[in-house]
Amino acid sequence: MEWKKEDVKMKEEEEKKEKEGEDKKDDKKKKSSKSKKSHKSKKESEKDKKKEEKVGVEEKEEEKEEKKDEDKKEDKKDEKEDKKEEKKEDDKKEEKDDKKEDKKEDDKKDEKEKEEDKKEDEKKENDKKEEKDDKKEEEKDEKKDEKKDEKKPTTIEPAEIKWDKAKGEKKIKITNNSSERKAVKMKCSDIALYRIDPVFTFVDAGKSVEIKITRLDEKVKEDKVVIMLAKCKDSDKDAPTVFKTMPVDQQEKHTVPFKGRSSSLDAKCKKSIQVNAAPAPINPSKEKTQMESLMAV
């Protein structure tokens, strides 16, 4: 029995040892597995780290790219905004330019309108001036017509004398159209060739007087007679004294020209009339008065 107990103990001890060995083996295995695992975990961690680093790098790159994209987008946005602002500015400039052009056009239109208004005003002024001038001319014409219609203070008839014959007589009619009495004085350019009767006389208001002019010779030339008139009183009887007292610038003057014959008529007359014919007899008293008056012409 004792032997059996010892065997049992031995077996138990052996079993223990075996168990311990197995436990040790298991521990070793575990340790080895642990070491392997730890080694593996280190490697894996390193790999993971590398992966993480790669991932981090990639993420960083992605972030950079995203930032770049964002920057690009922002730049594009900024560009768009800048373009919009530029467009706005351009639009504003265009509007300003359009406004300036509109102002210029408006100014031009205003200037044209002002010029047209000025032209119209000038035309109106010119028309007014023309109307005034026309009125003035009409008034002048009316005055002239009135003057024509008005009777002259003295009428002399004829206005000129033509001598058809070498010798002969002509008459001048003096009409006093005024309301005052006038003295008459006759003057002649050639007292040797002409005789005037009367040399001095009076013509009452509204009356007429005739002056006889006698041609004494056949000389062919142009002469004239000058008629002087001076206002006088009804009591005046001496015409020469009236003219002496009256200033010359207050006297009325009329000229009647004498027209001579043509040379052909004068040649024909010379054949039929004696050149040295004696003149008609003259009253000495009349000749003296004629000489005093007619020499003044």
Cα 32 to Cα 29, 47, 67, 125, 202, distances in angstroms? 5, 21, 49, 131, 187
Check pLDDT > 70 for residue 38: no
Residues of the chain above pLDDT 70, percent: 75
Exposed/middle/buried for 255, CB within 10 Å: 0-12, 13-18, 19+? middle
Task: Report the phi/psi class of residue 281: left, alpha or beta, with left for phi > 0 and alpha for psi in -120 to 50.
Answer: beta
> Does pLDDT of 238 surpass 80?
yes
Mean pLDDT of 134-147: 73
Answer for the pair 179, 205: CB distance below 8 angstroms, yes or no: yes
Output the pLDDT for position 150. 57
Instruction: For the chain, list the domains and their CATH numbers.
Output: 154-271 (2.60.40.10)
Mean pLDDT of 72-95: 79
pLDDT of residue 66: 78
> Binning pLDDT at 50, 70 and 90, where does residue 292 land?
low
Give the pLDDT score at 278.
40
- Check whether 201 has a pLDDT greater than 70: yes
In the predicted model, is pLDDT for residue 296 greater than 70?
no
pTM: 0.43
